[in-house]
Amino acid sequence: MPFSIENTRQFLVRPGFRLADVKPASTPDVSSEAELAKDVAQHDKEISDLQENLWANARTGVEGTGAVLLVLQGMDTSGKGGLIKRLARVMHPMGLSFHAFGKPTAEEASHDFLWRVRPKLPDPGEIAVFDRSHYEDVLVQKVEGHADEAEIERRYGAIVDFENGIAASGTRIIKVMLHISREFQYANLVERLTDKKKMWKFDRADLVVRSKWGEYMAAYQIALERTSTRTAPWYVIPGDNKEYARMVVKHLLVEQLRELQQPWPRPVDDLETARKHLDAT
């Protein structure tokens, strides 16, 4: 049986979810590398068409055209950047935006944590992909103690309200944690210290985060529990096999894009007259 939308449901964060139960190196419901490669390619044409359909509707002013927000979280080297690269290859750059949220600037830090996120939300017809997001504010900020527990507690609720508002405006939200193992990260970091083309990505600060792996997993566990909702669900996807994780994310994307699909817009009512006008030029 080929991998299907139904198969993605096993990664959905539901009540009782335990991060520790997800095996980063597993590739459920895919039996061979060949099958995986086939599936990765399979959706590309469909994603491309569906995205153009979405964009076309927005551009021609069709009322009620939706949007998609894809939030990517994961530890360093979990493959967020590589996934983004693959998504960019499939979709038209107009109507597609990528935003990386790093350490807040002084100005960003002086505002509420959602302040810097709002301007990056997708307009109708657009797909926005967040490389890290407002979730950093309940992950790194919690672990590093940059915000106190009461503030972190407030933020879980603020995030749910924020995302409900986004969903109510017609934007589909997909939240993905690319879940890698500590061993896989080690191998990736060794590669960064070895491959001269990758060395620039090595950052000593990443080692500090790595040394607090358990605390980060605990922070993820709570954040996932508290913010996985019907309108903005979390999916925790095994990440040690990057091709596998990309395939699953493409399935989630296709699902939302299919639901947003509308007839191709037809701004010209009378084709015959339009053709006559064209022929007359």
Residue ranges binding its own copies (CB under 8 A): 49, 52-53, 56-57, 59-60, 81, 84-85, 88-89, 92-94, 96, 98, 100, 131, 186, 189-190, 193, 196-197, 199-204, 207, 210-211, 264-268, 271, 274-275, 277-278, 281
- Beta carbon of residue 110, minimum distance to its own copies (angstroms, whole number): 22
User: Residue 118 or residue 277: which is nearer to its own copies going by CB?
Assistant: 277
Please choose, from the candidates 144, 138, 17, the residue with its C-alpha nearest in 3D space to the C-alpha of residue 73.
138
Measured between alpha carbons, how far is residue 148 from residues 10, 151, 157 in Å?
A: 34, 5, 15
CB of 269 to its own copies, least distance (A): 11
Q: Which is nearer to its own copies, 22 or 100 (CB)?
A: 100
CB nearer its own copies, residue 104 or residue 265:
265
Cα angle 156-160-163, degrees, rounded to a multiple of 5: 135
Closest separation in Å from C-beta 23 to its own copies: 22
Closest contact distance (angstroms) between CB of 64 and its own copies is 16
Interior angle at CA 123, CA 120 and CA 124, nearest 5: 155
Helix pair angle (182-192, 204-211), 10° resolution: 170
In single-letter form, the type of residue at position 258 comes to R
Closest distance to its own copies from the beta carbon of 164 (Å): 28
Q: How far is the CB of 185 from its own copies (least distance, A)?
A: 9
Name which of 8 and 57 has its Cβ closer to its own copies: 57
Backbone angles phi, psi at 54, to 5 degrees: -60, -45
Q: Which is nearer to its own copies, 196 or 230 (CB)?
A: 196
Q: Between residues 197 and 230, which has the closer beta carbon with respect to its own copies?
A: 197
CA quadruple 256, 85, 130, 73: dihedral sign: positive
Closest to its own copies by CB, 49 vs 144, is: 49
The whole-angstrom separation of Cα 136 and Cα 103 is 9
Q: Are 173 and 245 in contact (CB under 8 A)?
A: no
Q: Which candidate, 171, 167, 225, 204, places its Cα nearest to that of 12?
A: 225
Q: How far is the CB of 66 from its own copies (least distance, A)?
A: 16
